[in-house]
Amino acid sequence: MSLSDFIAGLVHLVLVAAFTGFTAGRLRARLLPGWSGSPARLIEAVAAVGLLVFCSELLGIFGLLEVFPLVILLGLLAIFAWLRVIPRQAGSEDSVPPSPAVSTGAQLLAFAAAFVVVAQWGAFTSYNLDHGITNFDSVWYHMPFAADMARTGSVTGFFHTDTVFLNWFYPQNSELIHGVGIVMTGRDFVSIFINLGWLGLGLLAGWCVGRPYGRPHLTMLGVAVLMATHTLVVREPGTAKNDVMAAALILSAVAIMLNRSSARPDPPGWVSPDWAMAAGGLAVGLAAGTKVTALAPALLITIAVIHATVPHRHLKAAGIWFSAALAGGGWWYLRSLFATGNPLPQIDRIGPLELPGPERLQIGRPDFSVAHYLTDTGVWKDYFVPGLDQGFGHVWPVLFALVIGGLILVMLTAHGRLTRTHGAVALLAILAYLVTPLSAAGPEGDPSAFAINLRFLVPALGLALVLIPLSSWFDRGWRRYALGLLLVGLFVGTSATDPVVSAPGRTFGFALALLFVALPFGFWMLRERLSRHLSLPPLAVGLGLALAVFAVFAWPIQKSYFESRYQDFELSDGSGLTGPYRWAEGITDSTIALAGSTAGFKQYGFWGPDLSNRVVYIGRDAPHGGFDAIGNCAGFARAVNAVQPDYLVTSPFLNFNEYGDPIRSPETAWAENDPSLEAIVPGVKPPATDRPVIVWKVNGQMDPTLCGRLAPGQNYVPGLAKD
């Protein structure tokens, strides 16, 4: 990226952030003028995300998700907000949440937890700055979805990454935000840092949960305990995975509503339908529009809010809540409904009721749930206990004992109807995880994906950990101090699995924490003195200064990033993609066709350094929005000809149960049979196998009639569901 391109991208980002931030701030000031401090900032952050998502979707429906349309639309909204078109809501000052004083010691404890967890995430972010985004789900579909939105400017199409799963029907708020970053800069550099922003939102939400009750440091520490776990630290920082986004938004919804329920004139624990409820509904909708596994906690939180609505106002509350939620996440489910007749095409049956949706010709691995193995002692010994130990550290028994026991305390002793109901919601969300498909994925008796998919439990655990300090049992005395010490111990225990002090990127991590945690915190601690000399809030000045310093250093950081991007891609994973990825870093403005699921599942590197390549996975459309593999040579040749690629990549069928032993796929033999294809990048053969990944230069149309030279056994589909 040239200096001029970097400056242009930076200007675009600043304009988008400034316009959305200004509009969100004005909306909050007009609609909830009495709110201030951290809850006000949380509502503004949620509103800004909602504005960005909604405006991007609106433009994307018409294929106009581009730099100038988005900047102009957001700029117009900012002008309307500046003109004060929205009237100030009278009487909203009466619904201001309380803000008890917090001791300096409590503030320092919260600062220390935030500093350590940001440094830890920053250290692991550094790995992706050195190599490029290499996380499996990120290179499989998160980043390809984002790159396709940026390339086409549209959010209406279904981008097919493979023929095994149905991930094109997933909600894509997270990918849309990554897509906006790509649109604004023409590169994926911004994506490396997006999850750090969601980490910050989650910590802010944690602080806000406990603020009306005088214990924000404990609720924030609960979030830090979760964010420091191995299951998040090794997968979320610097990648496009969206578990942290969903968790942060769920926590934001809970924080907003708990602050509202603590405010007068409503009875404690009850809520009236107002603009705070709209903000909570927006946060829940944004979470549901991010990840399907967030649907269960989102639905349960919705039930809790309606249940805690003041009498005779339930219908209005439901209207406000669901309208806001639909604006935040409804588009993706409506898109699937229009295409298949089912908003969740992955679910084809509810009890005896059959639902429309595509049938899958291939399968990756069985989608067993944890509940399937609950009484299997062998699986507990060989998979569940080691997986929990890996995902949450050696302290996981204490963590889960605190969660279950603490939630019971919340349901019995917490102040207010909404808080107690949320305790039940968190417990039900944990139970919902047990029956979540893929939570124990793998062959019968071999749930090898259990440890990886512990991330499905993250929103429910986060909700539980921030609610426990709200029990009246911890209102005063030694019990509150004991809980604080226990949370500190859990934080040390969960973060010990991936300690920042020994991480290769610790220097970068500590630098980020100093810049974005220590510097703003210093301004905030000195706010009384600095307010005399500053026209803006000291905390805002500290954050602005941190962003300005980071922008200066971003130029050499991104230069190094693009020099090393995918030059050392997963050399030891046995995928055979090292050579093809290095080759693709020199290819731009080309069409690359992919065949064989190994290339499909790890396709992002083929988009090129500036993401200008058009990448197409070869398959055939199937009923109800399905996309199936092609099982014969002639059909494959015709499909390749329809794409008119410059290059074709053939690869084996990815073996989810044993990555180092890929399954033979027929496309390489079909390519070898056609003289119009020239092998230019032979793949690095995985150990003990003859199934390489090969890049072919397409010099002309493939000839389907040449397929007659192949033996009948060369026409087949690997991984058939019936097998």
Q: State how far the Cα of 717 lies from the Cα of 662, in Å rounded to an integer.
A: 14
Q: Output the pLDDT for position 1.
A: 78
Q: How confident is the model at residue 94 (pLDDT cuts 50, 70, 90)?
A: low
The token pair that represents 10 in the structure block: 């930076």
Q: State how far the Cα of 491 lies from the Cα of 112, in Å rounded to an integer.
A: 11
Spell out where 353-486 has E strands: 353-354
Indicate the DSSP class of residue 186. S
Average pLDDT over residues 641-658: 92
Strand, coil or helix: what is 56?
helix
Q: Which helix (H) or strand (E) holds 22?
A: helix 3-31
Residue 250 carries which side chain, given as an amino acid letter? I
User: pLDDT tens across 284-319, in order?
Assistant: 999 999 999 999 999 999 999 999 999 989 999 999
Tokens 């225990």 map to which residue? 493
Q: Name the percent of the chain in helix, strand, coil, to the closest 5.
A: 60, 5, 35
Q: How confident is the model at residue 91 (pLDDT cuts 50, 70, 90)?
A: low
Q: State how far the Cα of 70 lies from the Cα of 153, in Å rounded to an integer.
A: 11
Contact 307, 257 (CB under 8 A): no
Q: Output the pLDDT for position 198.
A: 98
Spell out where 168-265 has E strands: none
Q: State how far the Cα of 626 lies from the Cα of 719, in Å rounded to an integer.
A: 16
Evaluate if residue 644 carries a pLDDT over 50.
yes
Q: Output the pLDDT for position 572.
A: 47
Q: How confident is the model at residue 49 (pLDDT cuts 50, 70, 90)?
A: very high
Say which residues have a Cβ less than 8 Å from residue 371's Cβ, sequence separation at least 6: 434, 435
Indicate the DSSP class of residue 663. B
Q: Output the pLDDT for position 523.
A: 92
Quick one: CA torsion of 653, 655, 656, 659, rounded to 10 degrees? -120
Q: Output the pLDDT for position 349.
A: 74
Q: State how far the Cα of 231 lies from the Cα of 367, in Å rounded to an integer.
A: 19
Contact 348, 357 (CB under 8 A): yes
Strand 647-650 to 694-698 pairing: antiparallel
Q: Output the pLDDT for position 92.
A: 57
Contact 147, 607 (CB under 8 A): yes
DSSP states of 460-483 as a string? HHHHHHHHGGGBGGGSSTHHHHHH
Q: State how far the Cα of 21 lies from the Cα of 40, in Å rounded to an integer.
A: 12
Mean pLDDT, the chain, whole residue set: 92
Say which residues have a Cβ less than 8 Å from residue 61's Cβ, sequence separation at least 6: 154, 155, 156
User: pLDDT tens across 414-467, in order?
Assistant: 988 999 999 999 999 999 999 998 899 888 899 988 999 999 999 899 999 999
Strand, coil or helix: what is 616?
strand
pTM: 0.95
| Structural domain spans, the chain | 578-714
Q: State how far the Cα of 592 lies from the Cα of 615, in Å rounded to an integer.
A: 5
Weakest-pLDDT range from 78-82, 250-254, 684-688: 684-688
pLDDT > 70: percent of the chain: 97
What values do phi and psi take at 311, rounded to 5? -55, 145
Evaluate if residue 246 carries a pLDDT over 50.
yes
Evaluate if residue 366 carries a pLDDT over 70.
yes
Evaluate if residue 687 carries a pLDDT over 50.
no
The token pair that represents 520 in the structure block: 């703003």
Q: How confident is the model at residue 712 (pLDDT cuts 50, 70, 90)?
A: confident
Q: Output the pLDDT for position 702.
A: 97
